[in-house]
Amino acid sequence: MTAAKKKAAKKPLARGKGAKRSESETRVPLGETALEQPEWRAFVGRWLEIAGCKVESAPHGDWEVELAPDLQKRWRRQRVRLVFDPARNTVPRGAWFTAPGSTAGRRILEAAMDRPMFTRRTALAQVPGAPATGIASVCKARGLTWGTPRLGPVRYERRVAFHAVITRWGGLPWQEQWVVLVGAGGEVLERDQAPQVPDVRPREGLYQMGEDLEPELRERWLLAARATLEELASEREREWEVSVGRLRDAELERLGAFFSARIEEEEERDRRRTSRDEHELEHGDATQLKLEWERRAAEVRQRWEMRTEVRLWGIEEWSWPVADLEQELKSGAMHVKLHSAVDVARGKPSLPGCPTCGTPAELLVRARGHVACANCAG
């Protein structure tokens, strides 16, 4: 780690010397709280613009922001200088240090969360819409030959992306940005640790999608997204519990080593002085040390206590290009037709269903005169 990175990593904790010391020893990956993330800056910029603020660049990569009227009221100021560089030693007077997890970063997220950003976009179709090998690009076939793929016409489906920030409080504050993409029926299509839906070129506005959403459908989408985000948060929490617990225990261990040594010293001195009638006074010092140890250990435990929070900050309605793909698998006189749905925005076919059991298959083989997945064949 470079010196700049180390310094940056220390910024968000700055709560106690113990925590700082453990930071440099940990192998926990340094996330968005550690270094400036371009996605974070892009998010803040996009949100400020949508909220009606005027943003001008200032020296050192800072932003000088003229706040929109409602934000002027909320933050009781007309303008604010935002500092993004987490390695900056000093910030200009009155400026806000704006890394994610910082006080101002949180303040901005809170304001953004009050009204989730709502945007409408279209995913641009790739040309060609699917790889030349068709389904063979995602599914292997053993003892069978692929026919020519036939790609149907491109149509546009509605999808909704939910953007959320998962924050871990306690110990080392930490933030992750996630996006959950939900399909037309409310099914979760993908979840990515990213500020935006990955691998897609967007265009503003909904293409080939006129009618408004039915409220029930909107509700179903929101429920699916919320359940997924909560599931995600508890998954992340389980992982964090291990890494955070390790850091906490290491700190407790160092504290223990320090106090045991001090107490031992006191007791040793105590034994030497017993003959000189100083017993009571010295004995008191060791007791004081034990109490101090307990108090400090309780502090450490409290500081590392973890809490996870999920916040939805943006909803995107997408018009997404899809197409059907049909392709035959052949072996001698046997022909089996396979179907796949192609994500035309990424030029990627979905896994075909196994002709025997219907489960999405990555491998198809010939079994008892039919085509089957590894499970069915075994």
Q: Cβ contacts of residue 274 below 8 Å, gap of 6+?
A: none
Based on the shown chain and the rule CB under 5 A, indicate whether residue 371 belongs to the binding site for Zn ion: no
Residue 144: burial class (beta carbons within 10 Å; 0-12, 13-18, 19+): middle
- The interface region with Zn ion, picked from 21-29, 331-339, 342-350, 370-378 by CB under 5 A, is 370-378
Q: Which two tokens stand for residue 125?
A: 């179709």
| 136, 354, 364, 365: residue in contact with Zn ion (rule CB under 5 A) | 354
Q: At its nearest, how many Å lie between Zn ion and the CB of residue 372? A: 5
Q: Which of residues 27-56 bind Zn ion (CB under 5 A)?
A: none
Q: At its nearest, how many Å lie between Zn ion and the CB of residue 118? A: 42
Helix (H) or strand (E) run with residue 293 in it: helix 279-304
Based on the shown chain and the rule CB under 5 A, indicate whether residue 356 belongs to the binding site for Zn ion: yes
Based on the shown chain and the rule CB under 5 A, indicate whether residue 319 belongs to the binding site for Zn ion: no
Q: Which two tokens stand for residue 208?
A: 């080939």
As a whole number of angstroms, the distance between CA 374 and CA 358 comes to 12
Helix (H) or strand (E) run with residue 330 in it: strand 307-331
| Closer Cβ to Zn ion, 291 or 357, answer by number | 357
Binding footprint of Zn ion, residue count (CB under 5 A): 5
As a whole number of angstroms, the distance between CA 297 and CA 256 comes to 8
Q: At its nearest, how many Å lie between Zn ion and the CB of residue 333? A: 22
The SS3 of residue 204 is: strand
- The interface region with Zn ion, picked from 12-20, 66-74, 316-324, 366-374 by CB under 5 A, is 366-374
| 20, 118, 357, 362: residue in contact with Zn ion (rule CB under 5 A) | 357
Q: At its nearest, how many Å lie between Zn ion and the CB of residue 116? A: 41
- The interface region with Zn ion, picked from 84-92, 230-238, 284-292, 350-358 by CB under 5 A, is 350-358
- The interface region with Zn ion, picked from 140-148, 179-187, 270-278, 369-377 by CB under 5 A, is 369-377
Residue 93: burial class (beta carbons within 10 Å; 0-12, 13-18, 19+): exposed
- Decide if 107 contacts 75 (C-beta within 8 A): yes
Rg of the chain over CA atoms, in angstroms?
29
Based on the shown chain and the rule CB under 5 A, indicate whether residue 376 belongs to the binding site for Zn ion: yes
Based on the shown chain and the rule CB under 5 A, indicate whether residue 364 belongs to the binding site for Zn ion: no
- Decide if 364 contacts 348 (C-beta within 8 A): no
Q: At its nearest, how many Å lie between Zn ion and the CB of residue 110? A: 49
| Closer Cβ to Zn ion, 125 or 141, answer by number | 141
Letter for the amino acid at 378? G
Q: At its nearest, how many Å lie between Zn ion and the CB of residue 375? A: 5
Interface with Zn ion (CB under 5 A): 354, 356-357, 373, 376
